[in-house]
Amino acid sequence: MELQYIWFFIVGVLLVGYLVLDGFDFGVGISLPFVSKDDTDRRVVINTIGPIWDLNETWLIVAGACLFAAFPEWYATMFSGFYLALLLILVALILRGVSFEYRHQGKSEQWKAWFDRFIFIGSALPPLLWGTAFANLIHGVPLERLENGGWIFTGNLFTLLNPYSLLGGITIMMLCFVHGLVFISLKTDGDIRERARALAVKVGLVTIVIAAAFLIWTIIEHLGSDTIVFVVVLAALAAVALIGAWLANFKGREGWAFTLHVLTMTFALLTVFMALFPNVMISSIDPAVNNMTITGASSSQMTLEFMTWVAICALPLVLAYQTWTYWIFRKRITRASIPVAAH
Protein backbone atom coordinates (compact mmCIF):
# COMPACT_ATOMS: atom_id res chain seq x y z
CA MET A 1 0.00 0.00 0.00
CA GLU A 2 1.27 3.49 -0.88
CA LEU A 3 2.24 5.85 1.93
CA GLN A 4 -0.59 8.29 1.09
CA TYR A 5 -3.17 5.66 1.97
CA ILE A 6 -1.28 4.55 5.08
CA TRP A 7 -1.20 8.15 6.34
CA PHE A 8 -4.90 8.59 5.57
CA PHE A 9 -5.65 5.76 7.99
CA ILE A 10 -3.04 7.00 10.49
CA VAL A 11 -4.89 10.36 10.61
CA GLY A 12 -8.10 8.36 11.05
CA VAL A 13 -6.61 6.37 13.97
CA LEU A 14 -5.39 9.59 15.63
CA LEU A 15 -8.88 11.10 15.34
CA VAL A 16 -10.37 7.89 16.76
CA GLY A 17 -7.98 8.22 19.70
CA TYR A 18 -9.04 11.83 20.16
CA LEU A 19 -12.76 11.05 19.96
CA VAL A 20 -12.48 8.11 22.38
CA LEU A 21 -10.33 9.89 24.98
CA ASP A 22 -11.57 13.47 24.77
CA GLY A 23 -15.05 12.06 24.13
CA PHE A 24 -15.50 10.87 27.69
CA ASP A 25 -14.21 14.08 29.23
CA PHE A 26 -16.58 16.04 26.97
CA GLY A 27 -19.28 13.73 28.30
CA VAL A 28 -18.24 14.37 31.89
CA GLY A 29 -18.57 18.12 31.27
CA ILE A 30 -22.01 17.68 29.68
CA SER A 31 -23.06 15.48 32.63
CA LEU A 32 -22.02 18.03 35.26
CA PRO A 33 -25.47 19.64 35.82
CA PHE A 34 -27.33 16.31 35.59
CA VAL A 35 -25.47 14.04 38.04
CA SER A 36 -24.46 16.60 40.68
CA LYS A 37 -26.68 17.68 43.56
CA ASP A 38 -24.28 20.07 45.32
CA ASP A 39 -20.85 21.64 44.98
CA THR A 40 -19.03 18.60 46.43
CA ASP A 41 -20.67 16.38 43.80
CA ARG A 42 -19.57 18.78 41.08
CA ARG A 43 -16.00 18.71 42.42
CA VAL A 44 -16.06 14.90 42.39
CA VAL A 45 -17.27 14.89 38.77
CA ILE A 46 -14.66 17.43 37.64
CA ASN A 47 -11.88 15.57 39.46
CA THR A 48 -12.62 12.36 37.54
CA ILE A 49 -10.98 14.03 34.52
CA GLY A 50 -8.85 16.66 36.32
CA PRO A 51 -5.45 14.96 35.78
CA ILE A 52 -6.09 13.74 32.22
CA TRP A 53 -8.35 16.07 30.22
CA ASP A 54 -5.52 18.14 28.77
CA LEU A 55 -3.49 14.99 28.05
CA ASN A 56 -6.41 13.67 25.98
CA GLU A 57 -6.30 16.75 23.78
CA THR A 58 -2.75 15.84 22.77
CA TRP A 59 -4.34 13.51 20.23
CA LEU A 60 -6.08 16.44 18.52
CA ILE A 61 -2.83 18.40 18.30
CA VAL A 62 -0.96 15.40 16.88
CA ALA A 63 -3.79 14.66 14.41
CA GLY A 64 -3.83 18.30 13.28
CA ALA A 65 -0.04 18.33 12.84
CA CYS A 66 -0.12 15.10 10.84
CA LEU A 67 -2.95 16.42 8.68
CA PHE A 68 -0.98 19.59 7.98
CA ALA A 69 2.21 17.73 7.07
CA ALA A 70 0.76 14.72 5.23
CA PHE A 71 -2.20 16.38 3.47
CA PRO A 72 -1.53 20.16 3.19
CA GLU A 73 -4.20 20.64 0.50
CA TRP A 74 -6.86 18.96 2.67
CA TYR A 75 -5.76 20.94 5.73
CA ALA A 76 -5.81 24.30 3.90
CA THR A 77 -9.15 23.76 2.14
CA MET A 78 -10.96 22.31 5.14
CA PHE A 79 -9.69 24.88 7.63
CA SER A 80 -10.53 27.79 5.32
CA GLY A 81 -13.97 26.34 4.47
CA PHE A 82 -14.88 25.29 8.01
CA TYR A 83 -13.20 28.35 9.51
CA LEU A 84 -16.07 29.63 11.68
CA ALA A 85 -17.01 26.15 12.94
CA LEU A 86 -13.40 25.37 13.87
CA LEU A 87 -13.01 28.79 15.50
CA LEU A 88 -16.07 28.06 17.65
CA ILE A 89 -14.53 24.72 18.65
CA LEU A 90 -11.30 26.48 19.64
CA VAL A 91 -13.17 29.10 21.69
CA ALA A 92 -15.19 26.35 23.41
CA LEU A 93 -12.05 24.37 24.27
CA ILE A 94 -10.38 27.48 25.70
CA LEU A 95 -13.53 28.35 27.68
CA ARG A 96 -13.63 24.85 29.15
CA GLY A 97 -9.94 24.75 30.03
CA VAL A 98 -10.06 28.18 31.66
CA SER A 99 -13.15 27.18 33.65
CA PHE A 100 -11.42 24.11 35.11
CA GLU A 101 -8.62 26.35 36.35
CA TYR A 102 -10.64 29.37 37.53
CA ARG A 103 -13.68 27.65 39.07
CA HIS A 104 -12.06 27.23 42.47
CA GLN A 105 -10.48 30.71 42.52
CA GLY A 106 -13.71 32.36 43.74
CA LYS A 107 -15.68 31.44 46.83
CA SER A 108 -19.18 32.66 45.88
CA GLU A 109 -21.79 30.27 44.52
CA GLN A 110 -22.48 32.64 41.63
CA TRP A 111 -18.81 32.57 40.56
CA LYS A 112 -18.78 28.76 40.51
CA ALA A 113 -22.16 28.58 38.77
CA TRP A 114 -20.89 30.70 35.86
CA PHE A 115 -17.82 28.51 35.34
CA ASP A 116 -19.98 25.38 35.63
CA ARG A 117 -22.09 26.76 32.75
CA PHE A 118 -18.92 27.44 30.74
CA ILE A 119 -17.74 23.85 31.37
CA PHE A 120 -21.09 22.55 30.09
CA ILE A 121 -21.05 24.77 26.97
CA GLY A 122 -17.36 24.12 26.33
CA SER A 123 -17.98 20.38 26.57
CA ALA A 124 -21.18 20.17 24.47
CA LEU A 125 -20.19 22.44 21.58
CA PRO A 126 -16.99 20.69 20.34
CA PRO A 127 -18.48 17.20 19.80
CA LEU A 128 -21.56 18.77 18.19
CA LEU A 129 -19.41 20.74 15.74
CA TRP A 130 -16.89 17.93 15.15
CA GLY A 131 -19.77 15.61 14.29
CA THR A 132 -21.21 18.25 11.95
CA ALA A 133 -17.82 18.66 10.24
CA PHE A 134 -17.26 14.90 9.80
CA ALA A 135 -20.78 14.46 8.43
CA ASN A 136 -20.21 17.28 5.92
CA LEU A 137 -17.00 15.64 4.70
CA ILE A 138 -18.88 12.50 3.62
CA HIS A 139 -22.13 14.26 2.67
CA GLY A 140 -20.42 16.63 0.27
CA VAL A 141 -19.72 20.35 0.35
CA PRO A 142 -19.55 22.98 -2.41
CA LEU A 143 -15.98 22.32 -3.48
CA GLU A 144 -14.46 23.32 -6.81
CA ARG A 145 -11.18 22.30 -8.36
CA LEU A 146 -9.15 25.26 -9.62
CA GLU A 147 -7.59 25.23 -13.08
CA ASN A 148 -4.15 26.18 -11.74
CA GLY A 149 -4.25 23.47 -9.04
CA GLY A 150 -5.83 23.18 -5.62
CA TRP A 151 -9.44 23.37 -4.45
CA ILE A 152 -11.69 26.10 -3.08
CA PHE A 153 -14.69 25.85 -0.74
CA THR A 154 -17.46 28.09 -2.11
CA GLY A 155 -20.02 27.71 0.71
CA ASN A 156 -20.44 29.37 4.10
CA LEU A 157 -21.30 28.40 7.69
CA PHE A 158 -24.99 27.91 6.86
CA THR A 159 -24.06 25.54 4.00
CA LEU A 160 -22.62 23.24 6.64
CA LEU A 161 -25.78 23.27 8.74
CA ASN A 162 -27.85 20.84 6.67
CA PRO A 163 -30.12 18.13 8.23
CA TYR A 164 -27.67 15.27 7.66
CA SER A 165 -24.69 17.05 9.20
CA LEU A 166 -26.74 18.29 12.16
CA LEU A 167 -27.87 14.72 12.80
CA GLY A 168 -24.20 13.68 12.65
CA GLY A 169 -23.33 16.40 15.16
CA ILE A 170 -26.10 15.40 17.56
CA THR A 171 -25.05 11.74 17.23
CA ILE A 172 -21.44 12.45 18.23
CA MET A 173 -22.55 14.73 21.08
CA MET A 174 -24.94 12.10 22.47
CA LEU A 175 -22.31 9.36 22.16
CA CYS A 176 -19.90 11.55 24.14
CA PHE A 177 -22.62 12.27 26.73
CA VAL A 178 -23.21 8.56 27.40
CA HIS A 179 -19.46 7.85 27.19
CA GLY A 180 -18.92 10.42 29.94
CA LEU A 181 -21.70 9.04 32.13
CA VAL A 182 -20.22 5.55 31.91
CA PHE A 183 -16.78 6.97 32.76
CA ILE A 184 -18.21 8.74 35.84
CA SER A 185 -19.82 5.49 37.02
CA LEU A 186 -16.46 3.78 36.48
CA LYS A 187 -14.45 6.41 38.38
CA THR A 188 -16.73 7.28 41.31
CA ASP A 189 -18.56 5.54 44.11
CA GLY A 190 -21.74 6.04 46.10
CA ASP A 191 -24.75 8.08 44.96
CA ILE A 192 -22.98 9.81 42.06
CA ARG A 193 -22.03 6.45 40.60
CA GLU A 194 -25.62 5.21 40.80
CA ARG A 195 -27.06 8.45 39.34
CA ALA A 196 -24.57 8.35 36.45
CA ARG A 197 -25.39 4.71 35.68
CA ALA A 198 -29.15 5.28 35.82
CA LEU A 199 -28.88 8.34 33.57
CA ALA A 200 -26.64 6.44 31.13
CA VAL A 201 -29.39 3.83 30.75
CA LYS A 202 -32.01 6.49 29.90
CA VAL A 203 -29.79 8.62 27.65
CA GLY A 204 -28.37 5.47 26.08
CA LEU A 205 -31.76 4.49 24.66
CA VAL A 206 -32.18 7.89 23.00
CA THR A 207 -28.62 7.69 21.68
CA ILE A 208 -29.24 4.27 20.11
CA VAL A 209 -32.20 5.65 18.15
CA ILE A 210 -30.32 8.78 16.98
CA ALA A 211 -27.16 6.84 16.06
CA ALA A 212 -29.19 4.22 14.16
CA ALA A 213 -30.87 6.97 12.10
CA PHE A 214 -27.49 8.52 11.25
CA LEU A 215 -25.86 5.20 10.31
CA ILE A 216 -28.81 4.15 8.12
CA TRP A 217 -28.80 7.56 6.38
CA THR A 218 -25.03 7.21 5.82
CA ILE A 219 -25.45 3.76 4.28
CA ILE A 220 -28.26 4.98 2.00
CA GLU A 221 -26.14 7.94 0.81
CA HIS A 222 -23.24 5.63 -0.13
CA LEU A 223 -25.09 2.71 -1.71
CA GLY A 224 -23.25 3.31 -5.00
CA SER A 225 -19.83 3.59 -3.38
CA ASP A 226 -17.05 1.05 -4.00
CA THR A 227 -16.58 0.75 -0.22
CA ILE A 228 -20.25 0.18 0.65
CA VAL A 229 -19.56 -3.35 2.00
CA PHE A 230 -16.99 -2.01 4.48
CA VAL A 231 -19.31 0.89 5.40
CA VAL A 232 -22.17 -1.52 6.18
CA VAL A 233 -19.94 -3.91 8.17
CA LEU A 234 -18.38 -1.11 10.26
CA ALA A 235 -21.76 0.55 10.84
CA ALA A 236 -23.19 -2.81 11.96
CA LEU A 237 -20.26 -3.33 14.36
CA ALA A 238 -20.80 0.17 15.79
CA ALA A 239 -24.51 -0.58 16.30
CA VAL A 240 -23.84 -3.96 17.98
CA ALA A 241 -21.20 -2.42 20.27
CA LEU A 242 -23.55 0.43 21.25
CA ILE A 243 -26.41 -1.92 22.10
CA GLY A 244 -23.96 -4.16 23.99
CA ALA A 245 -22.70 -1.14 25.94
CA TRP A 246 -26.27 -0.25 26.92
CA LEU A 247 -26.96 -3.82 28.10
CA ALA A 248 -23.68 -3.94 30.07
CA ASN A 249 -24.50 -0.63 31.72
CA PHE A 250 -28.04 -1.83 32.51
CA LYS A 251 -26.49 -4.89 34.24
CA GLY A 252 -24.03 -2.69 36.17
CA ARG A 253 -20.96 -3.99 34.31
CA GLU A 254 -19.25 -0.64 34.01
CA GLY A 255 -15.92 -1.95 32.71
CA TRP A 256 -17.62 -3.79 29.85
CA ALA A 257 -19.89 -0.83 29.17
CA PHE A 258 -16.92 1.53 28.83
CA THR A 259 -14.97 -0.91 26.64
CA LEU A 260 -17.95 -1.38 24.32
CA HIS A 261 -18.45 2.38 24.15
CA VAL A 262 -14.82 2.73 23.06
CA LEU A 263 -15.52 0.17 20.31
CA THR A 264 -18.71 2.02 19.33
CA MET A 265 -16.91 5.30 18.81
CA THR A 266 -14.03 3.57 17.03
CA PHE A 267 -16.29 1.77 14.55
CA ALA A 268 -18.47 4.88 14.08
CA LEU A 269 -15.50 7.05 13.04
CA LEU A 270 -14.02 4.27 10.91
CA THR A 271 -17.40 4.11 9.13
CA VAL A 272 -17.02 7.81 8.31
CA PHE A 273 -13.47 7.33 7.01
CA MET A 274 -14.46 4.31 4.93
CA ALA A 275 -17.41 6.25 3.46
CA LEU A 276 -14.92 8.97 2.54
CA PHE A 277 -12.30 6.66 0.95
CA PRO A 278 -10.59 7.18 -1.53
CA ASN A 279 -11.43 10.89 -1.14
CA VAL A 280 -10.67 13.28 1.70
CA MET A 281 -13.42 15.76 0.76
CA ILE A 282 -16.47 15.04 -1.38
CA SER A 283 -17.79 17.79 -3.61
CA SER A 284 -21.50 18.42 -4.03
CA ILE A 285 -20.67 20.10 -7.39
CA ASP A 286 -19.88 17.45 -10.02
CA PRO A 287 -18.12 14.97 -7.67
CA ALA A 288 -16.36 13.15 -10.54
CA VAL A 289 -14.37 16.30 -11.30
CA ASN A 290 -14.19 18.19 -8.02
CA ASN A 291 -13.70 15.50 -5.34
CA MET A 292 -10.43 15.93 -3.44
CA THR A 293 -8.68 12.55 -3.46
CA ILE A 294 -6.09 11.16 -1.04
CA THR A 295 -3.35 11.20 -3.67
CA GLY A 296 -4.30 14.69 -4.88
CA ALA A 297 -4.15 16.17 -1.37
CA SER A 298 -1.01 14.45 -0.07
CA SER A 299 2.54 15.71 0.43
CA SER A 300 5.57 14.43 -1.47
CA GLN A 301 6.90 10.89 -1.02
CA MET A 302 10.00 12.21 0.79
CA THR A 303 7.88 14.10 3.34
CA LEU A 304 5.70 11.06 4.02
CA GLU A 305 8.76 8.81 4.45
CA PHE A 306 10.29 11.25 6.97
CA MET A 307 6.97 11.45 8.86
CA THR A 308 6.74 7.66 8.98
CA TRP A 309 10.14 7.35 10.72
CA VAL A 310 9.21 10.12 13.18
CA ALA A 311 5.93 8.35 13.96
CA ILE A 312 7.69 4.99 14.50
CA CYS A 313 10.04 6.63 17.06
CA ALA A 314 7.57 8.97 18.82
CA LEU A 315 4.31 7.02 18.99
CA PRO A 316 5.48 4.34 21.50
CA LEU A 317 6.68 7.12 23.86
CA VAL A 318 3.33 8.94 23.68
CA LEU A 319 1.39 5.71 24.31
CA ALA A 320 3.66 4.72 27.20
CA TYR A 321 3.31 8.13 28.89
CA GLN A 322 -0.47 8.13 28.48
CA THR A 323 -0.77 4.57 29.84
CA TRP A 324 1.40 5.46 32.85
CA THR A 325 -0.72 8.55 33.59
CA TYR A 326 -3.97 6.57 33.52
CA TRP A 327 -2.41 3.92 35.77
CA ILE A 328 -1.30 6.52 38.35
CA PHE A 329 -4.79 8.08 38.54
CA ARG A 330 -6.75 4.82 38.33
CA LYS A 331 -8.47 4.94 41.75
CA ARG A 332 -12.14 5.81 42.22
CA ILE A 333 -13.01 9.29 43.51
CA THR A 334 -15.59 9.81 46.25
CA ARG A 335 -16.97 12.75 48.19
CA ALA A 336 -14.67 11.79 51.08
CA SER A 337 -11.59 12.09 48.86
CA ILE A 338 -12.31 15.74 48.02
CA PRO A 339 -10.38 18.12 50.34
CA VAL A 340 -12.56 20.91 51.72
CA ALA A 341 -10.22 23.68 50.58
CA ALA A 342 -9.54 22.35 47.07
CA HIS A 343 -11.65 22.18 43.93
Angle at which helices 254-276 and 3-35 pack, to 10 degrees?
140
Model confidence at 116, pLDDT cuts 50, 70, 90, reads very high
Q: Residue 341's pLDDT is what?
A: 55
Mean pLDDT of 34-52: 91
| % the chain with pLDDT above 70 | 98
Closest CA relative to residue 334, chosen from 207, 158, 156, 190: 190
Mean pLDDT of 181-191: 93
Q: How many CB atoms lie within 10 A of CB 325?
A: 14
Whole-angstrom Cα distance, residue 303 to residue 214? Answer: 37
Q: Residue 159's pLDDT is what?
A: 86
pLDDT in tens, 256-274: 999 999 999 999 999 988 9
Q: Residue 30's pLDDT is what?
A: 96
Q: Residue 343's pLDDT is what?
A: 46
Instruction: Say which residue, 104 or 220, is predicted with more confidence.
Output: 220
**Dihedral sign of CA atoms 41, 341, 58, 96 in order:** positive
Q: Are 43 and 85 in contact (CB under 8 A)?
A: no
1 has pLDDT over 70: no
Angle at 91 between CA 87 and CA 94, to 5 degrees: 140
Is the overall model pTM greater than 0.85, yes or no?
yes
119 has pLDDT over 80: yes
- Domains along the sequence of the chain with CATH: 8-140+156-278+314-337 (1.20.1630)
Mean pLDDT of 150-160: 85
Model confidence at 149, pLDDT cuts 50, 70, 90, reads confident
